[in-house]
Amino acid sequence: MRRLWAVLALLCLAGCGGGKPERKTAAAPRKQEPEVAPPINRLVFGGDVMLSRHVAARMRMAKDPALPFRSIAPFFKQADLAFVNLESPFSDKGAPAAGGMVFKAPPEAIEGLQLAGIDVVSTANNHTRDQLEYGLLYTLDWLEKNKIAATGTGRDEPGARRGVVLTANTVKFAFLGYTYDQRNGNHKEDDARINGMDIVRLREDIAEIRKISNVTIVSMHAGIEYAKEPNPQQQQFARAAIEAGATLVIGHHPHVVQPCEEYQIGVICYSLGNLVFDQTAPGTNDGLVVEAEFKGFSLRKLRTHRIRITDTVPEIVKK
């Protein structure tokens, strides 16, 4: 028994602090990663762009397919992403559309969109089917060939509802487009390749595209022509978009300016009016361009710039 206690005592001296203390090695200081500031992105939005009728005639007379965008192009070109509503389908068939309410943009008019650095257009509006199925598909092909994204329509229904996602300075911006009408008095049934203003589908589309993007922007073609205030359909649809997770709703179709409003954590601009058009009714030559500044995923600033159209050519109104 005495021998057992002696052995235990020796073990305790060796392992219980009775021996020489171990030297501890000082841990190397942790290297701190520098903080990376969220990227700043500037997005610019324009209203209705119609490249038919007198607009196309002016381009032909000047022998300049980019004529309508000459003055305003530098402002749009400086944006990280630029958007407009394309009110007239492209087509390479038939004679020019000299007048009336059936629009057709000549293929060479794409040069104006390129000059202005337009990255994405909405093709969902009441003139989408003016050149029938051929014009719908030709427009999508022509835009794609010229590296301009299209939202609101597709080669099939899933393609239309999918929208587009464009990346600027690591931030993924999603664009979805919808129209209140696609028949324009010329068709008896809707085409599923053109997004209508269905709020249930809107919520589903936003939920899907948010899985692969950081910021969602909705284009809304709706309202009463020449009305200076939004109607209930515009308000209901736009607010539903914000409630579903969109940050910004950009409206067009009334051809005159309607107000912008803050709603929850987003902003709605109900109508930017015209950007390139040949109308003469009061207010149709005065439009807005919206400049939205994002810091990371957050909308930090929104500015509006007045434009004045003179014989189809818009210019920023200097303050």
- The whole-number pLDDT of residue 304 equals 97
Instruction: Kindly give the pairing relationship between strand 215-221 and strand 248-252.
Output: parallel
pLDDT at 319: 73
| pLDDT attached to residue 2 | 37
Pairing of strands 313-316, 274-276: unpaired
* Angle, in degrees to the nearest 10, between helices 199-209 and 232-244: 30
| Nearest 10 degrees: Cα torsion 267, 273, 274, 278 | 170
**What's residue 36's pLDDT?**
78
| pLDDT score recorded for residue 46 | 98
pTM passes above 0.85 = yes
Domains of the chain: 40-316 (3.60.21.10)
Consecutive 10-residue averages of pLDDT for the chain (319 residues): 35 39 51 78 98 97 98 97 98 91 97 98 98 97 98 98 98 98 95 98 98 98 98 98 98 98 97 98 97 98 97 93
Across the strands, what pairs with 92?
none
pLDDT for 33 = 64
Amino acid residing at 61: M
In this prediction, residue 64 carries a pLDDT of 98
